[in-house]
A and B are shown apart, each in its own frame.
Chain A
Amino acid sequence: MTVLALIAVLAGAVAWWGARRVRNATDYFAAGGQAGAWLVGVAGTAAAVSAFTFVGGPGLFAVVGVGSLWITFSAPLTGALQCWAVGEPTVALARRHGILTPQELIGARFGRAARGIGAALIVLGCVANLAVQARAAAVLGENFLKVPGALAAGVALLATTAYTALGGMRAGLLADAVQGATMAVLALALAGAALVAAGGPAAVLATVRHAGPALLGSFGTVPPARALAWYLLFCLGTCAQPHYIQKFFFLRSHEQLRKLPGVLTLALAVTLSVWLAVGLAGSALTARGTIALARPDDLAPRTMALLGPWAELVAGVAVLAALMSTAASFLNLAAAAVTRDLPAALGKPVRGLTAARVTTVVLALVAAGLGTASGRTVALLGITGWGFFTAAFLPVFTVGLAWKGAGPRGAAFGMLAGAATDVALECVRSHLPAGLEPGLAGAAVGMLVLVMVSALRRQREAQAGLWHGGGKEGVENP
């Protein structure tokens, strides 16, 4: 309870600090666009690493072993991949046209209709992803902090909402960076403590090898195709997550991109150590009968409980930091979509900062309700949320920014087809063959639709002598 009260006080202070510094939309949605690579990299990792890493990841390791780590194995590549594929054109367009959000980027490249569709999909995805954070907060409250789950979810989301609504990303970036640094240090401490408590790395490996050798194969107990699909989903998917792309708008110059992959990779690798170490240590402790699990998400809390009250407190703070930083980005993106992009797409005036603040509060309440009511594990909810954005936005943010021939209709239909395919396949996920991830399948369908519709349109316009290249209402290709 003391931790929750402290979080509320700190959030209030950040909100007050941010509210005094927000003067315009650039401050509110893009943190003023004056940040350096270190600040953006650490804050970006904080936004990227959700409670999924601390709660869902180790739990998944207990079930499928090394197979779960294929979700994290793309970490060495993703920082550079994001910058090569999306970051460089995004920063160039943002500097040239004063773009503040990913959905504005879609609008600048593909016109008003695509911006509206992108904004609607971002609202849907953000609410689903916020629900993941609320669900994780409920697990955190019940297991780490020993308070009712709904109370923990409510306080965490309300505290985040307070500073996000009042200070926008000006406050959000600062809070994310502090949370990211805190998370990295605590993750490393928890990883080391868990391994030591379970008898050291050698003893842990020996126990897991004896109890379940299949867990330590290259792919654990998951079929190789599924492990590879996770790798691909979390590798390419980084180019499609709006809260990742949002961070590029915060950079003060193109030069800052040079160092960004290094910072992102370092911060991510340090934080992800908790997944491997707690997963391994918890699995060994479970095999020895020291801890018992009712469900996979119990692994991290039970392991921390064994370490002592200090570890539960530290883990509680780390998970809170993880989920609050991720939630802040989603709240800000969704508020921008509702108050700026959807009205602009409908030809109505863009709403002001007060409307953005009210929208932020409403979205947080909806997500808290959805998250605490959901019965799915945090890991599954996390993969579902990530997959939706990958399916909807991978084609437009990669090929759409690189190919001059990509047109507004192709982009709009590509986003819709990708999202619809993902949702349809999620409904029958348990019947899908190993390796067919709904998010990847959606992205594949969206990509084909984007390319085919754009090519057909281009051919028709060329026949009519109308084609000029690029988006109809859009800016030039970077």
Chain B
Amino acid sequence: MTSEVATTASHGRLRRMHDPSRHRALTPIVAATLALAYPVAVAVGPWALAGVTVAAAVCGCALALARRPSARLRAAFAAIAVWLAVGLGGAFLLRAYAMWGFAWVLLVVYLLPLPLIPLLYARTFDQEGGS
């Protein structure tokens, strides 16, 4: 009985996660929140702006979830969020170290994802496109 309830709850959660209408409903709320957060982050400081940068870039990609939600796509966006957060965080930590700062942003923020993100796109591509 307990496992049946757990399975049903899990299926319900999965169904909600894969429901495009849920993502569509979230779209204006997230967009308006980010639009308000941008000037606030500028006023608060660069760390806050780094947070908004990561959120806005990932949410831009995540607009695809409103058309074709999938676990694979969600995992791709999570990976991009982690990469951006680590890349920008490292840039902040190394900003006073001339060569290390340059090497970090060049390798981690720029060169490392160059082949990976297009590959992520190709792997998560949906022939139907959710259209």
Q: Is the CB of A402 within 8 A of B66?
A: yes
Q: Is the CB of B60 within 8 A of A261?
A: no
Q: Does A98 contact B (CB under 8 A)?
A: no
Main SS of the interface on chain A?
helix
B residues less than 8 Å from A216 (CB atoms): 98-99, 101-102
Q: Does B75 contact A (CB under 8 A)?
A: no
Q: Is the CB of A77 within 8 A of B80?
A: yes
A323, B110: Cα distance in complex, Å: 25
Q: Does A288 contact B (CB under 8 A)?
A: no
Q: Which chain B residue has the least Cβ–Cβ distance from A70?
A: B105
Task: Give B57-69 as 1s and 0s: 1 = Cβ < 8 Å from A's Cβ atoms.
Answer: 1001111101100
The stretch of A139-147, A330-338, A351-359, A433-441 that contacts the partner chain:
A433-441
Q: Is the CB of A219 within 8 A of B98?
A: no
Q: Is the CB of A83 within 8 A of B28?
A: no
Q: Does B42 contact A (CB under 8 A)?
A: yes
Q: Is the CB of A399 within 8 A of B98?
A: no
State which residues 268-282 of A face B: CB under 8 Å. Answer: 269, 276
| Size of B's binding interface in residues, CB under 8 A | 61
B residues less than 8 Å from A83 (CB atoms): 121
B residues less than 8 Å from A445 (CB atoms): 35
Q: Does B12 contact A (CB under 8 A)?
A: no
Q: A254-B127, A254-B129 are in contact. Are A404 and B24 (CB under 8 A)?
A: yes
Task: Give A212-253 as 1s and 0s: 1 = Cβ < 8 Å from B's Cβ atoms.
Answer: 011111110001110011011001100100000000000000
Q: Does A403 contact B (CB under 8 A)?
A: yes
Interface centre among A81, A92, A218 (most CB of B within 10 A): A218
Within 8 Å by CB of A73, from B67, B94, B110, B118, lies: B110
Q: Is the CB of B130 within 8 A of A261?
A: no
**B19 to chain A: closest CB distance in Å?**
14
Q: Is the CB of B97 within 8 A of A454?
A: no
Within 8 Å by CB of B131, from A89, A276, A454, lies: A89
Q: Is the CB of B110 within 8 A of A75?
A: yes
| Size of A's binding interface in residues, CB under 8 A | 75
Within 8 Å by CB of A435, from B31, B42, B114, B129, lies: B42
Task: Give B107-131 as 1s and 0s: 1 = Cβ < 8 Å from A's Cβ atoms.
Answer: 0011001111111111001010111
A164, B117: Cα distance in complex, Å: 34
Task: Give A74-110 as 1s and 0s: 1 = Cβ < 8 Å from B's Cβ atoms.
Answer: 1111011101110011011000100000000000000
Q: Is the CB of B117 within 8 A of A224?
A: no
B residues less than 8 Å from A399 (CB atoms): 27-28, 31, 63
**B33 to chain A: closest CB distance in Å?**
10
Q: Is the CB of B118 within 8 A of A402?
A: no
5 A-B residue contacts at CB 8 Å? A74-B57, A218-B101, A254-B127, A257-B125, A403-B66
A80-B61, A217-B98, A236-B57 known, 18 other contacts, Cβ within 8 Å: A72-B110, A76-B114, A79-B117, A79-B118, A88-B67, A92-B131, A218-B90, A219-B95, A228-B50, A228-B53, A229-B49, A236-B60, A262-B119, A269-B114, A398-B63, A403-B24, A433-B43, A435-B49
